[in-house]
């Protein structure tokens, strides 16, 4: 089977650019990436369906018909992508309502445990102070269970600000848990 090179190249470009956008921290950009990838994959199905031909309606034409199955699959995939897009848009909107931006935040609990492990490793008094400080910060997320969603954006900020202060321990800040600060 010989394939249509243009379709393959377009599909590759769509999936490649989609993947790049998908890596973004911004939810809307990631969504755009998802859409591009989705369209690229749909084109891949068209490639998979083989050579072009008459519409797959029996009795309409004497020419060979195209394979109808991939078209049905693509239709289904498009509908599913639509539903997922709607959900992600709603999610991005909600994230913006809550924090004023649609960026993906770090997992603060991981950051806390990472900082505690480093503090144990260094075994310096100042590092211990930081651990306690973060542990005190650990009380904050619980307050979320009692309402007050407005302050949540602040909680994340406090933590991210709290961890860099550990610079007093003699180590540059960073690491997987804390490196995501912007």
| In the complex, least distance from residue 59 CB atom to another protein, rounded to whole angstroms | 18
Stretch that binds another protein, among 55-63, 86-94, 126-134, 166-174 (CB under 8 A): 86-94
Stretch that binds another protein, among 22-30, 52-60, 124-132, 163-171 (CB under 8 A): 22-30
Residue 146 or 182: which CB sits closer to another protein? 146
Interface with another protein includes 91 (CB under 8 A)? yes
CB burial of 139-164 (b: ≥16 within 10 Å; e: otherwise) equals ebeeeeeeeeeeebeebbeebbebbe
CB burial of 96-112 (b: ≥16 within 10 Å; e: otherwise) equals eeeeeebbebbebeebb
Interface with another protein includes 122 (CB under 8 A)? no
CB count within 10 Å of CB 126 equals: 15
Q: Which of 28, 32, 41, 122 binds another protein (CB under 8 A)?
A: 41
Helix (H, G, I), strand (E, B) or coil at 26: strand
User: What DSSP designation does 116 have?
Assistant: H
Q: Which of 80, 82, 121, 136 binds another protein (CB under 8 A)?
A: 80
Interface with another protein includes 133 (CB under 8 A)? no
């Amino acid at each position: 089977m010989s394939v249509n090179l243009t379709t393959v190249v377009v599909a590759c470009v769509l999936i490649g650019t989609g993947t790049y956008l998908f890596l973004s921290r911004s939810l809307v950009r990631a969504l755009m990436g998802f859409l591009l990838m989705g369209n690229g994959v749909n084109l891949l199905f068209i490639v998979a369906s083989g050579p072009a031909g008459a519409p797959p309606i029996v009795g309409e034409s004497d020419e060979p018909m195209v394979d109808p199955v991939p078209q049905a699959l693509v239709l289904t995939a498009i509908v599913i992508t639509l539903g997922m897009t709607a959900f992600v848009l709603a999610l991005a909107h909600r994230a913006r309502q809550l924090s004023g931006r649609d960026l993906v935040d770090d997992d603060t609990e991981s950051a806390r445990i990472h900082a505690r492990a480093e503090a144990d490793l260094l075994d310096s008094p100042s590092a211990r102070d930081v651990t306690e400080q973060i542990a005190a910060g650990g009380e904050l997320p619980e307050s979320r269970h009692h309402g007050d969603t407005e302050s949540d954006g602040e909680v994340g900020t406090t933590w991210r600000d709290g961890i860099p202060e550990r610079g007093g321990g003699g180590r540059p800040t960073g690491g997987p848990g804390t490196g995501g600060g912007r």
